[in-house]
């Protein structure tokens, strides 16, 4: 076995969350593999574990036996002696931290320190905390005022004491926590029972955590040093996964395109390239969700029927066994694996209720079979419930490559020029990392090759592999050096390569002759076939939707800090007043639930995910504050009210884990809002929040009312703008009273707000609850359609007449805008006056279509166009009329797009830039972001 495979094997056996040791660091520092563990030590370890395990099974376990087991592991297995391991009163000063706002002092049970006489004697190297054997280390600690997990408590202690390493253990699980300053925290879990079954995990535990690794090793070979060196490689891991997923999407689309060509255009008839790309991206998002849910025990992985017919985590191994036994090409003859995936997607969406297996319906738009019915061989508009499916015959080889792109990470072997595949743990990936992988796919799109203009995909460095038209000049950026390109062009094409090129050209000799000069530069697909795309075929290429819009990856280390410091003054009484932390008072549950938090450029939802985590923890703590002193038979509602006489579904759960899951769903239901101009980013944000709120047996949280698609900068932001039909209503000295502004618009808002408040009043437990929310949202949106059309018309006037000299020029309305606005208003009055009030929406459609055409003028075929976002219309319960002191969002968190002002015109249009100058910048020009 190669050394890389050796390290890949033990890495696959432990659970990691966050950055960990990279393969280059492991192969450099441990070129001979992990340290061996002596036979006598393994024997004593087994005896100690069996004694501890027997004690745990007693009705009243002896705490002394529990503590002795932990000390045995520390003293005998890791060889921490009394010179470096201190506890209790022997802890040096500085080994505690006050969490004043929760009136708690955190302190470790033990600490590893540099021994006397050594360099930096008595410096803390590691804190150690021991919990009861039945305490889940990822769940809330019972009986504590600060209701977070043991791992979260240790993380906070380490940060406040400026110590990087900690261990939290319940005897069975040993979680190593690494807290580098300003970076993402890592959690590495070793399992004691696995030490006895998989010796590699014991060897890894001893190699990485023994006394010599901390006390005697050179600084760059201590565990902290190894992790620090590995941190720079972590971005490469995420980027590599992103590249693999993009290649898988490319493979999937090529398979769809081949099926379409074989059917003479019938398979994808009426399906545009954008929809094809979105379907491929959605399939990959569905898979990553299922991997996460299965690995976290939230689906039925382990159930024999589920494993045999539905599980996605085990399907790759079955296909790989067939491929290794008979060759990958044989897999192209069958397509049952993709049918199994479609069945699983249906099962998650609609549920299964058979005697042999029961799976609740989770609903949600992500898994909706009717979203892309062509994947099931159904026509648009048909229902999966009553129309037979005839799935696209995606062959098993393609499905294998989709699964391997997600499950097997290809890592470079240092010095060997090759790669090794190791299994990826989705428990180890932050939701933010998953979002980053998928945000990279927003850089790309699908296109169809024009007639007589075939396309080739050039091989380049990661992220620089453009697909160029053969008639174009070859000097397109590939990331390769000029010498490398020159060598590739001059090198003889090997016979095997020439055969592949000929096959890729469809044996078209003319095309082959045109391709030959670039034969060594052409990239291969995941099947090893040169990527030459014939006219009329669909291919994946880089687009302009994400990087050009200034979007960037947001790591958890950034979201944690920003969310905490932004929301603390809203959740506590004291920060804004300048009180000492010990005097802070946590606000009531109703005040927390009433908060409205917005990310107006949410991407894959990293800030909203962290806001959900942080707010739900505070909500649980607030519930517990309210519960203090109540009789045991009296519980509380989510708003903190006593439960006497209320039904069970209106009362918060008593189980700590269920309570935290319940809190996260309430926060998502009531507090979080997000906008993004890319509809696929909205789907990714929903995916992220579904992952953080997924509760076994309950349908997905309903998010459609809060996470929306649109341009945050293009639209109206106050109800006053609508009432006065003016983008700068403060300039309108008089307004003519008419039925639209005095009656129609206010009445519409009142009705819509009522519907939206009703849908926020209950938590989704079943698909029926989700359907009820969707019905209420549809009713609210239908009411608002005419008002939305009015808003579009006003924005059309603004963007059509924008000239970059500011609507606020000289304190008077822009003359050209004012003229156009008045014309629009006259048409609205005319349409409204000549219509039955019940048919206003329909009569305004014509005007709305004209407005959208004006708004999207000069867009030059950009993928999604300009989607105005009118804030009072989309979130009327937050920003609409008659809302008193609660009007508006409580806070905005986010990482807004950064695009230099000189790039705005090229990417978004001159009229859009002028609109921004007129509407948002008060006429100020320059290179602003």
pLDDT tens digits for 214-226? 987 888 889 999 9
Distance CA 201, CA 186 (A): 18
Please say if the pLDDT value at position 295 is more than 50: yes
What one-character DSSP code corresponds to residue 604?
T
The token duo for 204 is 């890894």
Q: Is 173 helix (H, G, I), strand (E, B) or coil?
A: strand
Asked if residue 276 lies in contact with residue 253, where contact means CB atoms within 8 angstroms, the answer is yes
- Residue 233 confidence (pLDDT): 63
Beta-bridged to residue 278, according to DSSP, are none
Q: Among candidates 289, 307, 283, which has minimal Cα distance to 391?
A: 283
Distance CA 851, CA 860 (A): 17
Torsion of CA 827, 832, 838, 840, to 10 degrees: 10
The token duo for 133 is 């054997």
What's the rounded mean pLDDT across residues 738-746? 78
Largest alpha-carbon pair distance within the chain? 94
- Residue 11 confidence (pLDDT): 86
Q: DSSP per residue over 266-320, as a string?
A: -TTTT--HHHHHHHHHHHHHHHHHHHHHHHTTSS-TT-HHHHHHT-STTHHHHHH
Q: What is the per-residue burial (b if ≥16 Cβ within 10 Å, else e) of 683-718?
A: bbbbbbbbbbbbbeebbbbbbbbbbbbbbbbbbbeb
Report the sign of the C-alpha dihedral through residues 393, 395, 396, 399, in that order: negative
- Residue 546 confidence (pLDDT): 46
Asked if residue 432 lies in contact with residue 605, where contact means CB atoms within 8 angstroms, the answer is no
Segments in 517-605 forming alpha helices (H): 556-571, 589-593
For residue range 514-546, what is the model confidence (pLDDT) as tens digits? 878 777 778 888 788 888 887 888 888 776 544
Q: Among candidates 288, 339, 338, 281, which has minimal Cα distance to 313?
A: 288
Task: Measure CA of the first residue to CA of the last residue in the chain; give whole Å.
Answer: 53
Please say if the pLDDT value at position 799 is more than 60: yes
Phi, psi dihedrals of residue 773, rounded to the nearest 5°: -65, -45
Beta-bridged to residue 129, according to DSSP, are 168
- Residue 263 confidence (pLDDT): 92
For the chain, what percent of residues have pLDDT higher than 70? 86
- Residue 476 confidence (pLDDT): 47
* Of residues 913 and 676, more confidently modeled: 676
Report the sign of the C-alpha dihedral through residues 529, 535, 537, 542, in that order: positive
Judge residue 800's burial from the number of C-beta atoms within 10 Å of its C-beta, 0-12 exposed, 13-18 middle, 19 or more buried: middle
Phi, psi dihedrals of residue 482, rounded to the nearest 5°: -60, -40
Confidence of residue 209 (pLDDT cuts 50, 70, 90): very high
For residue range 826-877, what is the model confidence (pLDDT) as tens digits? 888 877 765 555 566 667 777 777 788 888 877 665 556 789 999 999 999 9
Distance CA 558, CA 572 (A): 22
Confidence of residue 59 (pLDDT cuts 50, 70, 90): very high
Confidence of residue 902 (pLDDT cuts 50, 70, 90): low
Q: Among candidates 737, 676, 759, 744, which has minimal Cα distance to 881?
A: 744
**Which residue's entry shows tokens 């280059």?**
24
Confidence of residue 415 (pLDDT cuts 50, 70, 90): low
Please say if the pLDDT value at position 376 is more than 50: yes
Full-model pTM = 0.81
Range of weakest confidence among 96-105, 290-299, 479-488, 899-908: 479-488
- Residue 370 confidence (pLDDT): 95
Highest average pLDDT, of 283-287, 353-357, 518-522, comes from 283-287
Range of weakest confidence among 97-101, 262-266, 573-577, 740-744: 740-744
Asked if residue 468 lies in contact with residue 458, where contact means CB atoms within 8 angstroms, the answer is yes
Confidence of residue 333 (pLDDT cuts 50, 70, 90): very high
Distance CA 689, CA 612 (A): 8
CA distances for 119 relative to 116, 125, 430, angstroms: 8, 13, 37
Range of weakest confidence among 148-152, 350-354, 850-854: 850-854
Q: Among candidates 535, 540, 546, which has minimal Cα distance to 505?
A: 535
What's the rounded mean pLDDT across residues 445-461? 74
Look over the chain and give the mean of its residue pLDDT values, rounded to a whole number.
Answer: 84
How many other β-carbons are positioned within 10 Å of the β-carbon of residue 232? 12
For the chain, what percent of residues have pLDDT higher than 90? 40
């Amino acid at each position: 076995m190669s050394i890389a495979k050796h390290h890949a094997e033990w890495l696959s056996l432990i659970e990691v969350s966050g950055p960990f040791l990279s393969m280059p660091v492991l192969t450099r520092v441990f070129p001979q593999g992990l340290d061996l563990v002596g036979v006598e030590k393994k024997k004593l370890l087994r005896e100690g574990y069996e004694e501890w395990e027997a004690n745990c099974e007693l009705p009243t376990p002896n705490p002394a036996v529990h503590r002795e087991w932990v000390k045995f592991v520390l003293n005998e297995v890791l060889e921490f002696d009394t010179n470096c391991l201190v506890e209790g009163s022997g802890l040096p000063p500085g080994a505690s931290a006050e969490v004043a706002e929760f009136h708690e002092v955190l302190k470790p049970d033990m600490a590893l320190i540099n021994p006397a006489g050594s360099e930096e004697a008595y410096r803390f190297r590691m804190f150690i905390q021991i919990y009861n054997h039945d305490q889940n280390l990822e769940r809330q600690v019972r009986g504590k005022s600060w209701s977070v997990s043991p791992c979260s408590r240790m993380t906070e202690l380490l940060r406040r004491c400026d110590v990087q390493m900690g261990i939290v253990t319940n005897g069975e699980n040993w979680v190593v926590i690494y807290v580098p300053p300003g970076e993402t925290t890592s959690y590495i879990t070793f399992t004691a029972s696995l030490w006895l079954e998989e010796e590699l995990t014991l060897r890894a535990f001893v190699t990485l955590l023994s006394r010599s690794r901390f006390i005697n090793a050179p600084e760059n070979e201590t565990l902290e040093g190894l992790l620090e060196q590995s941190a720079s490689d972590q971005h490469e891991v995420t980027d590599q996964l992103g590249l693999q997923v993009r290649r898988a999407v490319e493979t999937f689309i090529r398979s769809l395109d081949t099926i379409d060509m074989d059917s003479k255009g019938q398979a994808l008839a009426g399906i545009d390239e954008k929809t094809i790309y979105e379907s491929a991206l959605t399939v990959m998002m569905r898979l990553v969700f299922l991997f996460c849910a299965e690995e976290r025990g939230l689906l039925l992985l382990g159930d024999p029927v589920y494993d045999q017919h539905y599980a996605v985590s085990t399907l790759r191994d079955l296909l790989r066994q067939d491929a290794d036994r008979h060759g990958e090409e044989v897999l192209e003859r069958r397509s049952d694996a993709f049918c199994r995936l479609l069945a699983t997607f249906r099962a998650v969406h609609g549920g299964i209720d058979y005697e042999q297996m029961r799976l609740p319906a989770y609903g949600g738009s992500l898994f909706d079979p009717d979203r892309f019915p062509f994947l099931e061989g159904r026509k648009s508009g048909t229902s999966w419930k009553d129309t037979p499916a005839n799935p696209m015959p995606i062959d098993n080889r393609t499905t294998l490559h989709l699964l391997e792109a997600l499950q097997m990470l290809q890592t470079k072997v240092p010095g060997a020029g090759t790669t090794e595949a190791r299994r990826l743990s989705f428990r180890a990936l932050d939701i933010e990392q998953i979002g980053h992988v998928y945000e990279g796919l927003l850089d790309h799109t699908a296109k169809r090759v024009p007639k007589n203009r075939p396309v080739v995909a050039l091989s380049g460095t990661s992220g620089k592999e453009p697909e160029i038209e053969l008639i174009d000049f070859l000097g397109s950026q590939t990331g390769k050096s000029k010498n490398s390109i020159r060598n590739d062009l001059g090198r003889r094409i090997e016979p095997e390569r020439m055969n592949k090129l000929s096959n890729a050209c469809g044996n078209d000799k003319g095309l082959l002759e045109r391709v030959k000069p670039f034969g060594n530069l052409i990239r291969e697909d995941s099947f090893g076939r040169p990527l030459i795309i014939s006219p009329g075929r669909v291919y994946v290429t880089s687009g302009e939707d994400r990087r050009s819009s200034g979007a960037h990856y947001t790591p958890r280390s950034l979201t944690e800090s920003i969310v905490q410091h932004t929301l603390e003054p809203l959740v506590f009484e004291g920060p804004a007043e300048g009180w000492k932390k010990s005097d802070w008072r946590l606000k009531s549950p109703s005040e927390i639930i009433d908060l409205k938090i917005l990310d107006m450029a949410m991407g894959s939802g990293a800030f909203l995910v962290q806001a959900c985590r942080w707010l739900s923890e505070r909500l649980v703590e607030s519930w517990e504050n309210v519960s203090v002193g109540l009789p045991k038979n009296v519980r509380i509602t989510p708003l903190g009210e006593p439960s006497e006489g209320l039904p069970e579904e209106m009362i918060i759960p008593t189980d700590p884990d269920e309570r935290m899951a319940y809190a996260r769903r309430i926060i998502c239901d009531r507090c979080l809002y997000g906008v993004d101009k890319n509809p696929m980013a909205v789907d990714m944000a929903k995916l992220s929040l579904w992952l953080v709120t997924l509760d076994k047996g309950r349908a997905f949280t309903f998010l459609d009312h809060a996470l929306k698609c649109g341009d945050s900068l293009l639209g109206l932001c106050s109800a006053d703008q609508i009432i006065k039909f003016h983008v700068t209503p403060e300039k309108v000295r008089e307004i003519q009273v008419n039925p639209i502004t005095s009656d129609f618009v206010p009445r519409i808002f009142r009705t819509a707000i009522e519907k939206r408040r009703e849908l926020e009043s209950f938590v989704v437990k079943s698909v029926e609850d989700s359907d009820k929310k969707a019905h209420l949202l549809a009713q609210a949106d239908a009411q608002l359609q005419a008002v939305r059309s009015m808003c579009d018309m006003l924005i059309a006037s603004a963007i059509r007449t924008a000239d970059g000299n500011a609507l606020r020029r000289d304190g008077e309305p822009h003359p050209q805008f004012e003229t156009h606005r008045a014309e629009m208003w006259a048409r609205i009055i005319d349409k409204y006056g000549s219509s039955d009030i019940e048919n206003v929406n329909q009569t305004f459609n014509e005007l709305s279509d004209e407005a959208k055409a004006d708004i999207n003028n000069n867009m030059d075929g950009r993928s999604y166009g300009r989607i105005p976002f009118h804030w009072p219309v989309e979130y009327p319960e937050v920003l609409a009329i008659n809302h008193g002191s609660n009007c508006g969002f409580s806070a905005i968190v986010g990482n807004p797009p950064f695009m230099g002002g000189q790039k705005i015109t090229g990417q978004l249009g001159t009229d859009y830039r002028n609109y921004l100058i007129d509407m948002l910048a008060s006429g100020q020009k320059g290179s602003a972001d």
